[in-house]
């Protein structure tokens, strides 16, 4: 198996091949292999989408990065939710959500360009924009 080092994570080429259509990479041999990956994608957006549901209401979505980090997307225009990575809890409008127990859904997405992507969510396609 061929593996490359990208930033701080070792990624095998099999994983990269799944998004090969969106990435260009070059390899230069000069005593050792130097690898550079250029992409029109924000690498922090690569990962799994999740949505937590409490009492039938969608509370948040998360984009997991390849390093385990994520960005929250509040589903309402109030934009008043925060996540504490220390305590592992969400706070929305002053209320702390310690657990999300109803269910967790995983969604798929495709990138349309450097600033937009389409998320397959609740049976429909929705376009999201990068901040």
Mind listing the pLDDT tens digit for each residue in 41-100? 455 555 555 555 545 555 555 555 555 555 554 433 334 555 565 665 556 555 554 444
- Tokens 């999300």 -> residue: 100
> Quick one: 98 and 55 in the same domain?
yes
pTM score, two decimals? Answer: 0.25
> Quick one: 53 and 32 in the same domain?
no
* Total domains in the fold of the chain: 2
Question: What average pLDDT does the segment 6-21 reach?
Answer: 46
Q: Extract the tokens encoding 70.
A: 């994520």
> Quick one: 63 and 106 in the same domain?
yes
C-alpha distance from residue 16 to each of 5, 36, 125 (Å): 12, 13, 25
Confidence of residue 111 (pLDDT cuts 50, 70, 90): low
> Quick one: 33 and 48 in the same domain?
no
Q: Which domain holds residue 80?
A: 44-129
Computed over every residue of the chain, the mean pLDDT equals 48
Sheet hosting strand 95-97, strand order edge to edge: 81-84, 89-92, 95-97
């Amino acid at each position: 198996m061929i593996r490359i080092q990208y930033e701080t994570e070792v990624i095998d080429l099999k994983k990269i091949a799944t998004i090969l259509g969106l990435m260009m990479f070059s390899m230069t041999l000069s005593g050792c292999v130097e690898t550079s990956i250029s992409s029109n994608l924000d690498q922090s957006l690569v990962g799994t989408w999740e949505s937590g549901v409490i009492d039938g209401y969608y509370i948040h979505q998360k984009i997991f990065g390849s390093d385990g980090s994520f960005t929250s997307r509040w589903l309402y225009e109030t934009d008043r939710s925060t996540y504490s990575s220390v305590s592992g809890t969400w706070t929305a409008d002053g209320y702390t959500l310690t657990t999300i127990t109803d269910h967790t859904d995983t969604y798929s997405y495709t990138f349309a360009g450097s600033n937009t992507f389409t998320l397959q969510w609740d049976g429909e396609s929705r376009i999201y924009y990068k901040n």
